[in-house]
Amino acid sequence: MRNYGSHAPKMYSYSDLKKITSSFSHKIGQGGFGQVYKGNLPDGHAVAVKVLTETNGDGEEYINEVASISRTSHVNIVGLLGFCYQGNRRALIYEYVSNGSLDKFLNSGPSSTTCTLEWTTLYSIAVGTARGLEYLHRGCNTRIVHFDIKPHNILLDEDFCPKISDFGLSRLCERKESILSMLGARGTAGYIAPEVFSRAFGHVSHKSDVYSYGMLVLEMVGVRNNVNMNQTSEVYFPNWIYEHLELGKDLSLQGIMNEEDEELARKMILVGLWCIQTKPSDRPAIEKAVEMLEGSLHSLQVPPKPVLFSPTRSILESFTSTSTSTSERRFVSGANIASE
């Protein structure tokens, strides 16, 4: 950590953490690597303390997360204030984000049955999240690929400004190198890009985050919840969207109050569909996705239907199949949209 100079977060002892969290009395969440508690620093600053699951390893994931977050500073990235590394006791101290994670505001959230956010707010969250990813991909001294973009990892402050959290799966690569080497599948089922499972679909890179972002945006729109599925599988609802768009059917989205809401929803759907193209090279870079979201709806075309999504196959079979070919359909704007 000493190599990071002024960017280095403060180191705390485990006894400090007990004081900060009142002996871990207020649990506010749980992630893939540990439990999260609310606490207060001595100056009264509210924080979220992520206590990582104790391991006997060398703490590679932990050190990776500390190093990557300590290099970041952006309004759409959760701030890291400190850390603890005392034997097998490891923790991260983040800024406290008062409205919690995005998933609780979505239809598919564990504690909610209806989306309580207005479309203008959902749109702002989509744009802010994309800007946060753009910073990770292009704005840092070292390019950061998150690998686990999903509603649970998008935190919302008191003004519903989104902040990307949980860099436990981050992998760093030098700015000159955009292709990453993966030792195993990372991320959360339903948001993982196909190339993470099989190189037959392309190389793993920052475009893998773009795929996850596209799935996130489509879930924010709420179309997943309008699909009547007999079994849980992420391959159904993108197919359902395409069928409704091609036939001009109503997507039956909730909360549409006026033409502006309708335009924002359709724009988010189209951008989401571009981002989940099967081939990484067909997806827009995240900065292009921002441009598409903030641009005119009339300039957006319906992208080719990703052949990866087939309701006759399980998601794992689709992701690992080497016989699946990519779509040959192209639109005139496709090359520009997928450009770096």
Write phi, then psi, for 179 (nearest 5 degrees): -100, 130
User: CA 172, 174, 180, 181 torsion: positive or negative?
Assistant: negative
Q: What angle do CA 132, 195, 65 make, to 5 degrees?
A: 40
* Residue 148 designated active-site: yes
Structure tokens at 209: 């985050």
Query: Could you give the CA distance from residue 283 to residue 304 in angstroms, rounded to a whole number?
Result: 11
Task: List residues forming the annotated binding site for ATP.
Answer: 50
User: CA 61, 81, 213, 176 torsion: positive or negative?
Assistant: negative
Catalytic residue among 16, 103, 148, 166: 148
**Which residues partner with 144 through β-bridges?**
172
Task: Tell me which residue of 275, 258, 261, 168 sits closest to 214, measured CA to CA.
Answer: 275
Strands 179-180 and 204-205: antiparallel
Catalytic residues: 148
